[in-house]
Amino acid sequence: MTVASIHEPVQQELAQVEATIAKVTRSEIPQVQQMLQHVLSAGGKRLRPTVALLAGRFGEHRPEYLVPLAASIELLHTATLVHDDVIDDSDTRRGQPTTNSRHHNASAVMLGDYMFAHAAELICHTESIEVVKLFSRTLLAMAGGELTQDMAAYEYGQDTMQYFHRIAGKTASLFATSAEGGAMVAGASDEWIAALHDYGENLGMTFQIVDDILDFEGDESELGKPTGSDLMAGTLTLPSLLLMQRHPDDNPVKKLFADASNGREHLADAISMIRNTDILEESYKVAKDFRDRAVASLEVLPDTADRAALIDIADHVMERRS
């Protein structure tokens, strides 16, 4: 399952989304335009807008509202990545220098805010107060997830339930809004809207868990960032939490958080221990459980090519390598 094949059912509308995003890069200030072009031309799989466009076909198909919704969601997502890179002091993303490494943190933060503002303006083009409210609640959930992650940095007294709660806000909420928002724009029934919300939420959980697995087993050239970068930033994810559960008294994660001066050595030990056990396999099983829940949520929808495309996206999220 390739990214191109996932985009194919909504290719025409996705091109309109890209054109809408491209308009955001136009600025009278040359430096701002350069920064926007750097961030928004970096690519990405556009999974969230694709989900929104597909969900918007379960009801009255209204591309004039779906396109700004999908563009708004992608802008919101990209803005959060810019802010993430500042928080994590990241130098690269998708193999390219981050905004904060090219400029400085203040500029990167303001650029993220600029994109948030554009996303908010675009969401109003849906002409739905309920979708605007959904957008606002999602932004609150995402900010809450980020705050929780930041405040828990280098704290090893965490458990998997706290982890699930954090990624539900940080990542899954935007996937849920993509699917739910598309269905709302289409005027779908309450039952279908709820089903698509559940699909998006579980898809987002799957996406984040696989992302966290790849941080330990992925190839740096494919990931576009160093292996183990989450742990170096003090962020505990499912594989590292499972490692600590198995070795509560003596583990390299605990040593890493306590001794930053030898961080690289402790990180290498943590990656080695996780790779040489069944922890990654166990983590994939958890991701697959969320993937299965996402697919099961779609059973109330009509058996159409659009539903099949949503299932394909869930399969792709499980199989991806970057």
- The answer to whether 80 and 173 have CB atoms below 8 angstroms apart is no
* Other beta carbons within 10 Å of 146: 17
Whether 154 has a pLDDT exceeding 90, the answer reads no
Q: Which residues pair with 77 in a beta bridge?
A: none
When pLDDT is cut at 50, 70 and 90, the band that residue 87 belongs to is confident
**88-97, 172-181, 284-293: which range is least confident on average?**
88-97
* Closest alpha carbon to 85 in 69, 103, 72, 67: 103
Assigned CATH for 3-319: 1.10.600.10
Whether 233 has a pLDDT exceeding 80, the answer reads yes
**73-77, 128-132, 225-229: which range is least confident on average?**
225-229
Q: What is the pLDDT of residue 261?
A: 76
Whether 42 has a pLDDT exceeding 70, the answer reads no
What is the SS3 string spanning the chain? CCHHHHHHHHHHHHHHHHHHHHHHCCCCCHHHHHHHHHHHCCCCCCHHHHHHHHHCCCCCCCHHHHHHHHHHHHHHHHHHHHHHHHHHCCCEECCEECHHHHCCHHHHHHHHHHHHHHHHHHHHHHCCHHHHHHHHHHHHHHHHHHHHHHHCCCCCCCCHHHHHHHHHHHHHHHHHHHHHHHHHHCCCCHHHHHHHHHHHHHHHHHHHHHHHHHHHHCCHHHHCCCCCHHHHCCCCCHHHHHHHHHCCCCCHHHHHHHCHHHHHHHHHHHHHHHHCCCHHHHHHHHHHHHHHHHHHHHHHCCCCHHHHHHHHHHHHHHHCCC
Percent pLDDT > 70 in the chain is: 98
**pLDDT tens string 115-153:** 999 999 999 999 999 999 999 999 999 999 988 988 888
Structure-token pair, residue 263: 């961080």
Q: What is the pLDDT of residue 224?
A: 65
**Average pLDDT for residues 245-252, to the nearest whole number?**
89
Query: Can you tell me the distance from the alpha carbon of 16 to that of 98, in angstroms, rounded to the nearest whole number?
Result: 26
Q: What is the pLDDT of residue 220?
A: 74
44 to each of 67, 92, 96, how far by Cα in Å?
17, 14, 12
**Average pLDDT for residues 284-301, to the nearest whole number?**
98
Q: What is the pLDDT of residue 280?
A: 96
When pLDDT is cut at 50, 70 and 90, the band that residue 43 belongs to is low
* Comparison of pLDDT for 119 and 28, the residue scoring more: 119
